[in-house]
């Protein structure tokens, strides 16, 4: 009896230690482009465009975004740490394997999607804040975490370069209002910025490459 229990315990431990399956970009591409209606997983391409190149300014570009960041956001939607009425049910219908496969597909197929700053009157203000922060209000330079060219740092901080102005602005405002809660660091920084400054930074990063 003791041996049987011990064997079962070892078997359970071995199962727990079994490495996760290697991400499959082909399966990720299928889910990204086709979705899975049985699980209420809408095709990602519907909102985020081919290979993550979203055309609608309200939807984020995923092209060239760091895989670890995309993974974190999907998990945050699953757990309720981040809220969005469209993304939450989709993320909750995805397995960990699904997420890793989609991330692998985007990493393999997407390329940086260029954007452009639109407001010449505020682009200099955006540049100053992004590169130097606002010292008198203890707002650090965005470049300190997101790098001087907006490429971000893999597994730590997201890529901002080329992102839609409207999306970046909306997320910064959501951090400031407390509607988005999955980065205490960003919440505290943006609380010290005005709407004009937020808009200027969002416009500036859209033009980074």
Domain assignment of residue 55, yes or no? yes
Q: Model's pTM, two decimal places? A: 0.89
Domain assignment of residue 2, yes or no? no
Instruction: Report whether 94 belongs to an annotated binding site.
Output: no
Burial of 88 (0-12, 13-18, 19+ CB in 10 A): middle
Q: Domain span at residue 176? A: 123-206
**With 50 as the cut, is the pLDDT of residue 6 above it?**
no
Domain assignment of residue 73, yes or no? yes
Instruction: Report whether 48 belongs to an annotated binding site.
Output: yes
CA atoms of 113 and 127, how far apart (whole Å)? 20
Q: Look at residue 153 and give its three-state secondary structure.
A: strand
Instruction: Report whether 44 belongs to an annotated binding site.
Output: yes
**With 50 as the cut, is the pLDDT of residue 138 above it?**
yes
Please tell me the total count of domains within the chain: 2
**With 50 as the cut, is the pLDDT of residue 105 above it?**
yes
* Same domain (yes/no): 95, 166: no
Instruction: Report whether 34 belongs to an annotated binding site.
Output: no
* Same domain (yes/no): 135, 196: yes
* Crossing angle of the two packed helices 96-109 and 25-34, in degrees rounded to 10: 100
Instruction: Report whether 164 belongs to an annotated binding site.
Output: no
Which pLDDT tens digit goes with each residue over 28-61? 999 999 999 999 999 999 999 999 999 999 999 9
Integer angstrom CA distances of residue 180 from 10, 55, 59, 187, 201 = 43, 23, 16, 8, 18
* Same domain (yes/no): 27, 105: yes
What's CA 152's distance to the chain center, in Å?
Answer: 11
Domain assignment of residue 151, yes or no? yes
CATH classification at residue 140: 1.10.760.10
Instruction: Report whether 30 belongs to an annotated binding site.
Output: no
């Amino acid at each position: 009896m003791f041996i049987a229990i011990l064997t079962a315990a070892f078997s359970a431990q071995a199962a727990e230690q079994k490495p996760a399956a290697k991400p499959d970009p082909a399966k990720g591409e299928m889910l990204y482009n086709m979705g899975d209606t049985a699980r209420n997983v809408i095709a990602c391409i519907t909102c985020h465009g081919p290979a993550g190149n979203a055309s609608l300014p309200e939807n984020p570009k995923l092209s060239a975004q760091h895989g670890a960041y995309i993974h974190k956001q999907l998990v945050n939607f699953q757990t309720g740490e981040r809220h969005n009425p469209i993304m939450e049910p989709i993320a909750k219908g995805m397995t960990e394997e699904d997420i890793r496969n989609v991330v692998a597909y985007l990493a393999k197929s997407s390329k940086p999607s260029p954007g452009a700053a639109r407001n010449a009157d505020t682009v200099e203000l955006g540049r100053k804040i992004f590169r130097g922060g606002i010292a008198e209000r203890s707002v650090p330079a965005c470049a300190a975490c997101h790098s001087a060219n907006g490429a971000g740092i893999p597994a730590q901080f997201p890529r901002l370069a080329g992102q839609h102005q409207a999306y970046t602005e909306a997320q910064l405002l959501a951090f400031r209002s407390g509607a988005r809660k999955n980065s205490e660091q960003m919440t505290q920084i943006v609380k010290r910025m005005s709407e004009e400054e937020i808009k200027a930074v969002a416009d500036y990063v859209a033009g980074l490459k």
